[in-house]
Every structure is written in C-alpha cells, then in structure tokens.
A and B are shown apart, each in its own frame.
Chain A
Amino acid sequence: MSMSQSANDSAVNSIAVDINGRREVLTATPDTPLLWALRQHVGLTGTKFGCGMALCGACTVHLDGVPIRSCVTPISAIAGKRVTTIEGVSGAVAEAVHAAWVALDVAQCGYCQSGQVMAAIALLTESPSPTDEAIDRAMDGNVCRCGTYPRIRAAIHQAATALGPSVPASTARERR
C-alpha cells in the first residue's frame, strides 16, 4: 500500500485503493473527491455528479460496504479501503435489486438511479426485509426529480421478497 499524503492539498500524490476488486493508483491531489477520481481518472462513469454537497445521493458508492457520498469524500480518506461502484457491485442482493428495478421499470431519466440502486443494496444487505419507515430513512438522502420514488419503494420490497426471509422477525421489528 503506497500512500504519501502531504499536508499541502495542491500537491499531486499517488493513492492506492481497491476499486471493484482491482487495485487502482489514483494520481491526483489528496483533496480530489472520490467522485471525480472515479469518473475521470478511473473512467467509471456510472457514479453521477448531482450537487457536490452530499445533498442528493447521485454519487453514492460503497466504502467497505457502507454507502457514502463520493462527491464530498476526498481520496485522501479512502487509502487502503475497498470502494464498490455501480459497475462492480455484485452478489445476491445486488442481483435481486437489479432484477426488481428492471421488472418494475423504476428508471425514468435514470441519472439518479446508480445512487438509488447502491443505497438500496446497502439497505437490504443491512436489513433484509425493511419496513416502509426503514426505506424512508435509508433512501431519503437520494433525490429523484423524475418521481420514481413509488417504484423504488415497491422494487425494494420486491427484492426483499425475492431474497427470502433470512432474518428473524424480531430483528426486523427492532430496526423500526
């Protein structure tokens, strides 16, 4: 792991990170947001720019499995960590979410959907059969201007059903 972080943010550094299971060396100033490193240095354009202030969630990726806003996460904060983007997310939950998104025709313009899908995968990984209130809490940071919210909610429930009841009901109740 090579990481030479300088106190001077304008100095260009090389920061090594694991992105979608591949080791990438990002050569940029340490204050560069992960979003722009992904989009312009690595060429992963599925993660979108919406607000630049962590207000809309279009830039949501997973950092060690936890959803974060990549537009306000400097690459200096992610050295040695595991980044998963919409292009690299996989597994049973990701497949169920993706299948539900297509089956219910969630997307309209689609611009926010990478972030929505990443937020939904994180939610279902943490809480396999979320209540409506849990969905509200987990998804409220992800803005959609086309108004796909009713279908996002339905798709999350459908994905949860497809994944089956793997968590005791008491745990689900606790999370309410």
Chain B
Amino acid sequence: MKRRTFLAVGAGLGGSLFVGWALLPPRQRLMPGTARRTPSGTVALNGWLTIAADDTVTVVVPKSEMGQGIHTALAMVIAEELGCAWEQVRIEHSPVDAIYNNISVVVEGLPFHPEASGPLVRGVKWLTAKSMREVGVMMTGGSSSIVDCWMPMREAGASARQSLVAAAAARLKVDVSTCRVENGAVVCGTSRLRFGELAESAVAHRPDRVALKAMSEFSLLGKPVPRLDADAKSRGIAVYTGDVAVPGMRYAAVTLSPTFGGTPREYKADVVQRMAGVRAVVPLKGSHYGDAAGVAVIADSWWQAKQGVDALAVQWNEGQHAALSSADIAKTLRAAALAGKGFPFRSVGDARGELTRANRVIEAVYEAPYLAHAAMEPLSATVRVTKTSAELWVATQVPGLARAAVAQITGLDTDQITLHQYVMGGSFGRRLDVDFVAQAAAIAMAVPDTAVHVLWRREDDMRHDSYRPAAVSQLRAGVDAQGRLTAITAHSAGQSAFQMTNVRLGIPLVRFMPDRTTADGTSDQPYEFAALRSAHANVSLPVAVGMWRSVGHSHQAFFFESFLDEIAAALTQDPVAFRASLLQHHPRALHVLTLAAERSGWGQPFAESPGMPRRARGIALHSSFGSTVAQVAEVSITDQRRIRVHRVVAVIDCGFAVNPNIITQQVEGAICYGLSAALDGEITIANGRVVQGNFHEYKPLRMSETPRIETIIVPSMEVPSGVGEPGLPPLAPAVANAVFALTGTRLRALPLRLPAEESTS
C-alpha cells in the first residue's frame, strides 16, 4: 500500500471509529472505574455515597473545600434525593476517578457566546462533554462545582434511594409502590427498615431508570442549611495540610529565586548543614510546573528549617529578566492594546465602521495591575517517597494533576502514589497550580522514606504566585447625531492566564486555542449593542500568571462597566436607566439591575447627619459563570482622600438557590476580596523582582473598612449556576462609578486612588 493510500485509509478508518464513538451516549458518572474500598459494614451504593450499618451516610465529594461551602452544598444534593436525615451525613474526599472529571467547566469554557444555542454549538458541547468524561481532569474551579455535580449527584442520591426501597420491598415481600423513604429509613405500611439494615442488600437492586424528585418537592435544597464545617472551624479542629503529623516527619523551608528565571549561584551549605536540627540542604532546579529554582533546608522543625534558609545567604544568578519593571510592562501592554490587533472574541455588526461614521467618539484607556492570591494559609505540601511508592498530603484544586506531578518528578507511576486531600486555608485559584507539589516531591526525594512537610513563608507565597494578569484595555464608543450609542469596541491586552496555567500543568495544546477567559467580561455580557467588537491581544511576559477569582472578569468588568458609566454620563443618562435600555430583551439581567436600584434606594437622598461626609452611589451589573450580579456601592471620601465604602447592596440571580446561606456568604466574601483588590491590591515588579512580600506591602481589607453588605437572591427555578466568583467583578466598577458620581473624577486604573490635588466638590 502506498503511503498516501495508507494514510487516507487510516484517516478514514480512524474517522469512522471516531464518528461511531461520537454517536454513542456519554458514559455514566455513577459507578467509578475502581470499586470503592469501604470499612466493613459500610456499603458504597455508587461512587458518590456510602451507607454504614449505623445509618451514617458518607457523601463522597470530588470537589475541594476552599471556604466556598461546597461540601455542605453537595451533601445537601445527595441527602435531598436519598431521603436521609441531615444529621446522618458525613463528608469524605473522593479518590481520583474519571467519573469525577469536571465536565461543566470545559463545556462552559468553550468559546461560544452564552446565548449561542444552534445545532453546531449544541453538538460541539455534547461531544466535548462526552470527551471530558474520558480524558478530562478532576478540578474545582470556575464556579462550576454545583453545575458540574448537580445532575450526577442528584442521580446518585436517587439511584441509591430506589435501591434501598427495592431492597426493603423485596425483604418485606411487598410492592415497591407501597414503600417510601422517610428520614433515613424505608417505610412500607407499618414496617420501618433503616438504611443501615438495607444497604448490603440494596447493592443488588440498582434501578435501570433513575427517578429524580421534582424540584417542587425539595425539602432540603433551597433552605439556608448551616455549614457542616462551622463548628470544627470555630474550634480550631478542622484539619489543614500543615496540621497532619505523619510519624517521623521532617520540615522544609525554601528560598526561591527573587528574579524570574534566576538560579542560585552560591550559598553557605556547609554552615547550614551544621546547624542544630538541619538534616539536608537541597538545591532546587525548578520545573515546568512553575516552581522556581532555589534551595530548600530540611530540619527537625520548621523553625529550624526557616532559620537554615535565612542563614544560606544565597547569591543569585539573576537570569535574563533582571531589568523587568512594572513601568516597562505597562508600556508593552498599552502598545499592544492601542494597536487594536488581537483575537476578536465577539463581533456584532460593523463596530469599527460605525466608529468612523460616528458623530462623536468616546474613548478611554483602562489599566489593572497584577494581583496575588494571598490566601491565609501559605502554600504547603507533605510528601514521602520510597523506591516503589509515594504519598502526598495536600490541599489541591486538581488532585489528578497533583498526583501526576509527583509521578513525573519521582519517576513513579500514578498508581503508586497515594493522595490525601485536605481542606484549604483559602485558594482563590492559586491551588489550580501544582508548582508547590512538584517542588515538595523534589525536596522529599533528598530524604527517601521520610515524610517532609514543605511550608512556604508568606514572602515565598506572595513573590512566587501565579498572578492575576496585569491588563490594559482601550474602549471606544460611537454616538450618532441623535445622541444614540451606535457601537462599542473593547481592545484589551495582557497575558493569557488560562494558557500559561495549562502549559505549567502539562496541557500545552491549549496554547493553540484562543483563550476566551482573556475577553470574558466584555465579549459575553447580556447588553444589546447595535455593534460590538471585543478583542484581546495576548502578550508574552516572564511574569507567571494564573487563575485568580473570576479570572478575566476580575478586570474586564472594571473596564467595561466603568466605561458604560462614562457613556451614560456623556449622554446625560442615569446609569441605571441607560443600562436598562440595553437589556430590553434580557429580562433576568434587567430584573437584577432594577432590583439592585430599588433595594439600594437609587436616586433617593441619603439620610444626612451632621458632620457626615457626602456620599454617592455607583452601580455595576455583570454576568459571569452563568450568573448575573448587580451591585450598588455607597461611598464617601475621607479627609486623607481615601475611598470609604459604607454599604454594598448586591442582587444575584444564580438560578435555583441551592443554599441561600452559603450563596450570601460567597457574595459577601467576593465583595470583600474584590474591595481588597479595588482599594489596595497591586503587585509591582522592580529589577525583575516582585516587590511586595507580606501583608504590610500587599494590604488586605480589614474589619474597619468593611462595608455593610446586603445580599438579595433572586428566587428562581432555573438550573443552578456559579456562585463563588460572580459576586466579585461588579464591585470595583460600582465603587469607581460611585467615586465619579461623588467627585466627578473618573478613575481608570486599579487600585482606585484619588489624585491628591483635586478637590471633592
């Protein structure tokens, strides 16, 4: 066979196999590939729950708990469909298995507009979902956990319920229709059989067809159920990675290259080696996972290790980026944004043509800095490596990839590696990277058979983050002779967080796909513009960037919602009325907007008291992760010209509200995290180094500057959508718009700082 013919036949055969595979329904997500090992007397009815003889229901959760309350929410989904008592429920992290792959985050991340729903779009989504079931990864992020687990976990609970009912009916020799579940037991007439008594026999009664409850029958879902972890977390007994005492464990501290790409040149290994408690001084090469080169010290206690690191007095080879500065980066980003090139993520009408025909063009350039995640718990991981196995104690958003990183660093197979997952002391996207895991594995290899707990200092965590990308956007709007908005163009520039993260994680193919997240927040908003062009130019820079709570939305919302306010002001329209005029065919978003205006007292005078500084309100509306949030911020300016936010009214439409208590918590949290960034958040680069190291330099929001927050959840029976991130994007523009309303000064750069010389008249 000629080579060409061979290839053609091969391609044809491969193609038909692919088509054949593609036509099959997606594989189930109920039963894991490897049967779950359970203690004796405990039965796994499927991959999502086990039932013990004492009636304890253990919900198996594939999602990481980083504070967002997902463990409670997912347990509610199982408990609702299963029909157990809430007090019976416990939580356990799932192992790594393909049934737990995050399908939704990939499907929702496809570069389609949220409203696109043609047959092609549906087909691509279906095929992507099916593929991710096979080759995807376990991942907590993208506000996707409820979306991703909603159906599989409802089905898992319902399937188990049907099995238990069938087992009870068989045992009592009655028809299943005479039986029902009630608070963790099956009741058939006057007989009552506890789940614990039925679990063993229920295995043989798995239903062919799963019968879900109607949403109108929910008795637990939709209620403000208290969090399962509230008690442990207020008594200091929740277990984080650093709280695990592995027998014989040693501790390591690290010092990492202060410049991007630098390496250690010389250091006092001999001196440190002789220090009390020090076991080893380990040079670190760094890896493609993103961990920098440096030196680790392993000691009997972390304090000794940290003192060892301080005594190393490392001299560094600075590498080729030692001259990099924030000013250079800003110049590069501005040039790229103003060049107007970049990938067009959305083109409606002929926006650029409309601008040339416009009677008047409004134009502005917006900027946002790098941001650190700065979770409260500095990064850590514990690893023990033997000749034939490795064990990893860690809190990660990507357990499968964390395990793969240990495999690659140690040369072991993934099935030789055991991963123990813990709750996180915050993450905000940081633990989507596994640099600290790869590094811990490399360090542990220096002392085989010994568990090593590697803990970063705050300064390591701050200066070796994967930052929210700095970005610049040029926004232009055309207005016709009648004073109507005719077109908007948004041309932004910045690094691609999604691509850089995936390259680090070992999924480099995404480099060849446009990164939709870079333009998220301009390309995907519900507004009805006559013409819109949203494009983003990827810029390559040595600073590591990654996924930061709400990703592209975090800065694009500030740019876009501030600019919409500029247009409203230029057209002398009220900011709420102007936005409402652009949402006439989007009733859900319009409702969120008008409700926020109503509840905040928009347009009403403030209750004045003597000596109270003048206040003003600003509004922003933003859709992200399937949900829509509007916020109204009330601000004043202090005598020191600092912005003070007094009150934020937030309205969220996230579809069916699984747990209103946790949704409210997340909106409050997103507002505080967003306000922290809006008022003070800024990572700067000087001489190739990250300047900020600790909380005196990268200032977090504190109690005294926290506003009163009122959260309103729109009642809905739509499918639930994202909650962890959507509360963040509208905060900065709402505050900036309020500052404009109060002072007439338009702040176009984050963090929001009023120029000293202007008066507040």
Contacts and interface: CB of A to CB of B under 8 A. Distances in A.
B302 A12 contact: no
Interface in B420-478: 423-428, 455, 457-458
B696 A85 contact: no
A50 B233 contact: no
A56 B457 CA distance: 13
Interface of B: 66-69, 226-227, 229-240, 242-243, 245, 251, 275-276, 301-303, 374-378, 423-428, 455, 457-458, 661-662, 665, 668-673, 676, 694-696, 700-704, 706, 708-709
B425 A109 contact: yes
B706 A53 contact: no
Contacts of B661: 105
A40 B251 contact: yes
A55 to B, nearest CB: 4
A106 B458 contact: no
A158 interface: no
A108 interface: yes
A32 to B, nearest CB: 5
Contacts of B662: 105
Interface string A126-144: 0000000001110111111
B375 A113 contact: no
Interface in A1-46: 10, 12, 28-29, 32-33, 36, 39-41, 43, 45-46
A107 B235 contact: no
B219 to A, nearest CB: 20
B650 to A, nearest CB: 12
A161 to B, nearest CB: 18
Given A139-B703, A150-B706, A106 B376 contact: no
A48 interface: yes
A48 B234 contact: no
A86 interface: yes
A110 B233 contact: yes
Contact of A107 (B234, B671, B709): B234
Contact of B458 (A47, A53, A107, A141): A53
A33 B67 contact: no
A93 interface: no
A155 B447 CA distance: 47
B760 to A, nearest CB: 24
Nearest to B373: A145
A153 to B, nearest CB: 7
Contacts of A144: 376, 672
Interface string A89-110: 0000000001001100111111
30 contacts: A10-B276, A29-B276, A39-B243, A40-B301, A45-B239, A45-B242, A52-B694, A86-B236, A98-B235, A101-B234, A102-B230, A102-B234, A105-B665, A107-B227, A107-B229, A108-B69, A110-B233, A110-B423, A110-B425, A111-B426, A117-B234, A141-B702, A143-B702, A144-B672, A145-B375, A146-B67, A146-B669, A146-B672, A148-B668, A149-B702
A37 to B, nearest CB: 8
Contacts of B458: 50-53
Nearest to B706: A149
Nearest to B240: A111
Given A53-B696, A110-B425, A46 B235 contact: yes
A112 B234 CA distance: 9
Contact of A147 (B235, B276, B427, B672): B672
A148 B303 contact: no
Nearest to A110: B233
A143 B695 contact: yes
A111 B377 contact: yes
Nearest to A41: B301
Given A36-B301, A47-B236, A52-B458, 11 more contacts: A10-B276, A12-B276, A39-B242, A46-B235, A46-B236, A86-B236, A101-B234, A106-B230, A109-B66, A109-B423, A110-B232
Contacts of A33: 303
Contacts of A110: 67, 229, 232-234, 238, 423, 425
B234 A113 contact: yes
A64 interface: no
Contacts of B671: 147
Nearest to B243: A45
B703 A105 contact: no
Given A50-B458, A56-B695, A109 B426 contact: yes
B669 A148 contact: yes
A6 B375 CA distance: 37
B491 to A, nearest CB: 33
Contacts of B706: 147, 149-150, 153
B376 A108 contact: no
Contact of B457 (A52, A101, A152): A52
A69 B704 CA distance: 20
B665 A108 contact: yes
